Structure 1
Amino acid sequence: MDYDITHAPETKAGIAGDDAQQVYDTLMRTFEDYKAENDTRLQAIEKRRGDVLAEEKVARIDAALDAQQRKLDELALKAARPQLGSAITPVPAAREHKSAFDAYIRFGDTAGLRALETKAMSIGSNPDGGYLVPDELEHTIGERLAVVSPIRAIAAVRQISGNVYKKPFMITGPTTGWVGETAARPQTGSPQLDALSFPAMELYAMPAATANLLEDAVVNLDQWIAGEVELVFSVQEGTAFITGDGLGKPKGFLAYPTVANASWSWGNLGTIASGAAGAFAASSPSDVLIDLIYGLKPGYRQNASFVMNRRTQAAVRKFKDSTGVYLWQPPATVSGRASLIGFPLVDAEDMPDIAANSLSIAFGDFQRGYLIVDRQGIRVLRDPYSAKPYVLFYTTKRVGGGVQDFDAIKLLKFAAS
C-alpha cells in the first residue's frame, strides 16, 4: 500500500463532512496495517534477527497514521469553529457597536466608537490604546481558541475584569471524625489555605490588510479578524500554557518545580521515572504508563487526559497489553480523540521530545489542575502608517494561567530513577 502523507483532502464547506468520514476510514485502515506490520517486526525481534524492511515499513505507516490523524483533526477543527452571525437579532446597543466598529476598521472613522465610550462613561478606553471589539467578535475568538489551543480545550477557564485573579485553595481540610450521639466533640484542626495569584499578561497579533480588502463590502471583517488572530493567539498560548516562565506570559505547568511522586508536596508536580535515561524501560516499557495513571488519586482519574506530542505518541503506539491489544487506539468516532489505555490523548506539540530527564508525558485532570484567566475585552488599534500601503490591526488580549491544584497533574520523567 502506498502511503501519501503530503496531500490533504479537499475541505470545501459543502463536502467537509464526507471528507472527514473518508479520512477517518483511511485512518482506521492505516492503523490495521500498522498493527500487522508492527506484529511482524516484533516477531522478528523475538526470533533475534532484525528485519530492516519491517522497521522501515512500520516507520512509514506510522508517519501515514500521524498524517491521517492530523487531517482528521483539521477537518474536525473546521467543523467545530463557530461562525459569526446568528439568526438572533442583536440588541440595538450591540448593533450600534458593531456598526461603529466596522466603520473604524474599514475607514478609520472613530466618531462612532468615541460616542459609544462617552455614552458608557468609559474612562479605560484610551483611543491611543485601541478600541474594544464587539462582544460577538470577542466571544467568537474565545470559542475558536478553545477549539484550537490543546491545553485551553481541557483546562479550567475564568473570565476576569481586573489584571489579577486571586484564588484561595485549601491544601488540607479541617480534621473530621466519627462521634457517638452523646460523646464529646473534640476541637478540629484548622484548614490550611494557599493564596494563588494569576496575573493576566498581554498577548498581541498584528494582521495586515490591503485597501482593496477593506473596501470590499462583501468581506466580513469580523470573520477576517477572528481568523487572522486565531492561529497566532493559539500558538503563543499553547507554548505558554506548557513551558511559559511566567515573566510577561502565563506560567506553564512544566515550569513548576518537580519532585518524585513518592515525596510529593504542595507547590510541586509529582514525577514518575520511566526506568531508563531518555527512554522507556527495556523490559515491560508500558508498565510505567500504568504507574503514571495510578500515581493520580482516584478523584482526579475520572476526568484525566494524557498530554504529549506526536513523536512521543509514535513511541507509545507500539505498546500492547498482556492480551496483545494495542494501548493506543484511534478515535472511536470521526470527531473523537485518540485514546491511550482508555484515557483521552491530547496532541500538544510544545511538549518536549523524549530525551534524558525530559518531562515528555503529562497525565492529569487539567480541569482541576490548570487555570486559564481571560481578562474581558479584546482591543484593536488601526495603524495605516507603519507599513504602507498595508493597514495593520494591532490586536491585543490579556490572558494568564498557572497550576491551581498541584495534586491533579503528574509527569513522566524519562530517567532511570
Structure 2
Amino acid sequence: MTNAASVAPEVKAVPETVTAAFDEFMEAFEAFKDVNDRRLGEIEQKLTADVVTRDKVDRINRAMDDQKKVLDQLVLKKARPQLGRGGGELSAEAVEHKAAFDAYIRRGEEAGLRELEVKALSSGSGTDGGYLVPPETDTEIGRRISVVSPMRALSTGRTVSSAVLKKPFATTGLATGWVAETAARPQTSTPQLAELSFPTMELYAMPAATQGLLDDAAVDIESWIAGEVDIVFAEQEGDAFIRGDGVNKPKGFLSYPTVADSAWSWGNIGYVASGAAGAWQSTDPSDTLIELVYALKAGHRQNGTFMMNRKTQADIRKFKDADGNYLWRPPAAAGQPASLMGFPIAEAEEMPDVAANSLSVAFGDFRSGYLVVDRAGVRVLRDPYSAKPYVLFYTTKRVGGGVQNFEAIKVVKFAAA
C-alpha cells in the first residue's frame, strides 16, 4: 500500500479559486512535514538522510513555493476591483476631472484639464509637461502597490508636496533624576536634535496602446493605466526600499552600515551572526532566529515581522524547536502571511539568498523603522509621436524612503561572527 506522504505533490492545473489554491497549499505542507520527519529520523539513526528522502523534501519545498505563488496571484487578482464601475457617487468636481482626463488620454484634448487648473489656481502640469491623474486613480495605484510590495505595506508612509522631507529627531533625551521633597530642582539639559533627510526620486513607466484601443468606449482607461503601472512600480519600489543605494532612488535598509548588535550605535543596522560562513550553524540553527528576535527591544518586538525570500524560507521550514514542533507555520487563511515563532513572515524576493556575509533574514518593526515618502500625485504625459502607431503614456511618480529608526530593524549576517 503506497504511503501518500512518501510521494511529493505535483503542481496540478492552476486552481480557479483562492480556496482551492489554499487547500492545495495546506495539503503540500502536511506532506512536507511527514517526509521531513522521516528525513530527521534517518539522520538520528544513521547520521545521514537517505538521498531519496532528501530529494522528496526538496521537491515538496519547491512545490509549496509554486503553490504559494499561485495563491498570491489569485489573492492579488481578487484585490483588484475595476475603477469607476459602481464605486459609489463622485462629487461634481471629481466627475469633471475624470471626464477631462479621459478626453486627454483618448484623444489628446487638453482644454478640459487646463480649465480645471485655472479653476483650482494650481499647477497640475509641471514644466516638463503631463497632467495629474484623478485622485481615485492615484489612490488605486498606491493601494495596489501596497498589496504587491511588502516594504510599502509594512512601513510608515508620508505624502508631501515638496521634493524633500526633513525629519528632526533627538539623539539624546531629557535629563531626569530623583529629588527630595524640599531639595532644589536644577534645570535639566536640553535634548540634542539632528535631522534625517528623505528626498523623493522619480519612478517612471511607459505603457503603450493603439489608438483603436483608446477609441473603444468599453475600455476603462483609468483602470487600464493603473493595471499597467502598478506591478512595475511595486517591483522597482520593493527593490529600492530593501537594497537601493540612494542614488536616484530610495535608500534600502540593507544599504546602511551594519555592525554586530553588541556594538550597535545610531546610524547602523545591528546584525546577529549565523555562526557559520554562508550557512546556518550545523547544530540548533534556530538559535540564531531566537537571538535575532530578542535583539529588538520589547516595544518593537511586539510589532515585529520577519522578512526573507522564498529560498531562505524553504530552509527555515525544516527547523524545529526542542519539543519537535515546527517553527514555521502556514497561513491561517488565504491572503494572510505564514508565521515563524509566532511572528508574521513577509516574502520579499529582493532579499538576498543565503551566501557568505549575506544579510538574508531581517526582523523588525518596519512601521517604526522605515519611512516611505510619496510626493502627491501621479503624472501622465501622452506621446502619440515617438512610437507610431502606438500612443505612449509616460507615467511618473516621485517616491523616496530610508531608515528613520535604526533601533527597530535587525538582520542575520551569514558569517561565523
TM-score range, shorter chain: over 0.9
Segment drifting more, 123-132 vs 91-100: 123-132
Residue 4 (structure 2) aligns with: none
Segment drifting more, 184-193 vs 363-372: 184-193
Deviation of residue 100 (structure 1)? 0.5
Residue 334 (structure 2) aligns with: 334
Deviation of residue 84 (structure 1)? 1.9
1:42-75 deviation per Cα after TM superposition (whole angstroms, max 9, x unaligned): 1111222430000110001001111122222222
Maintained 8 Å contact 1:5/1:63: no
Residue 255 (structure 1) aligns with: 255
Helix, strand or coil at the partner of 1:54: helix
Residue 245 (structure 1) aligns with: 245
Maintained 8 Å contact 2:117/2:124: no
Helix, strand or coil at the partner of 2:152: coil
Residue 9 (structure 2) aligns with: 3
Deviation of residue 82 (structure 1)? 4.7
Q: Quote the Cα distance in structure 2 between the aligned partners of 1:100 and 1:359.
A: 49
1:182-218 deviation per Cα after TM superposition (whole angstroms, max 9, x unaligned): 3332332322222001000000000011122101101
Q: Quote the Cα distance in structure 2 between the aligned partners of 1:198 and 1:127.
A: 23
Residue 376 (structure 1) aligns with: 376
Q: Which amino acid aligns with 2:220?
A: N
Deviation of residue 103 (structure 1)? 0.3
User: What does 1:133-148 correspond to in 2, within 5 Å?
Assistant: 133-148=133-148
Maintained 8 Å contact 1:270/1:411: yes
Residue 27 (structure 2) aligns with: 29
Deviation of residue 2 (structure 1)? 5.6
Maintained 8 Å contact 1:163/1:199: yes
Q: Which amino acid aligns with 1:28?
A: M
Return the match for 1:41 from 39, 42, 54.
Answer: 39
Deviation of residue 116 (structure 1)? 1.3
1:300-354 deviation per Cα after TM superposition (whole angstroms, max 9, x unaligned): 0111100000000011110001111101110012221100111000000000000
Residue 118 (structure 2) aligns with: 118
Helix, strand or coil at the partner of 2:103: helix
Q: Which amino acid aligns with 2:382?
A: R
Residue 70 (structure 1) aligns with: 69
Structure 2: segments with no counterpart, 5+ residues = 1-6
RMSD between superposed Cα atoms in Å = 1.4
Q: Quote the Cα distance in structure 2 between the aligned partners of 1:289 and 1:400.
A: 30
Q: Which amino acid aligns with 1:329?
A: R
Q: Quote the Cα distance in structure 2 between the aligned partners of 1:181 and 1:347.
A: 56
Residue 157 (structure 1) aligns with: 157
1:366-404 deviation per Cα after TM superposition (whole angstroms, max 9, x unaligned): 000000000001110001111111111000000000000
Segment drifting more, 76-85 vs 269-278: 76-85
Q: Quote the Cα distance in structure 2 between the aligned partners of 1:394 and 1:327.
A: 46
Segment drifting more, 187-196 vs 272-281: 187-196
1:59 aligns to 2:48 (yes or no) = no
Maintained 8 Å contact 1:309/1:348: yes
Maintained 8 Å contact 2:8/2:60: no
Instruction: Report sequence identity in percent.
Output: 62
Deviation of residue 124 (structure 1)? 5.9
1:392 aligns to 2:398 (yes or no) = no
1:128-173 deviation per Cα after TM superposition (whole angstroms, max 9, x unaligned): 5201111111111111111111100100000001000011122331
Q: Which amino acid aligns with 2:14?
A: A
Residue 277 (structure 2) aligns with: 277
Runs of 4+ residues deviating >4 angstroms: none
User: What does 1:354-369 correspond to in 2, within 5 Å?
Assistant: 354-369=354-369
Helix, strand or coil at the partner of 1:190: coil
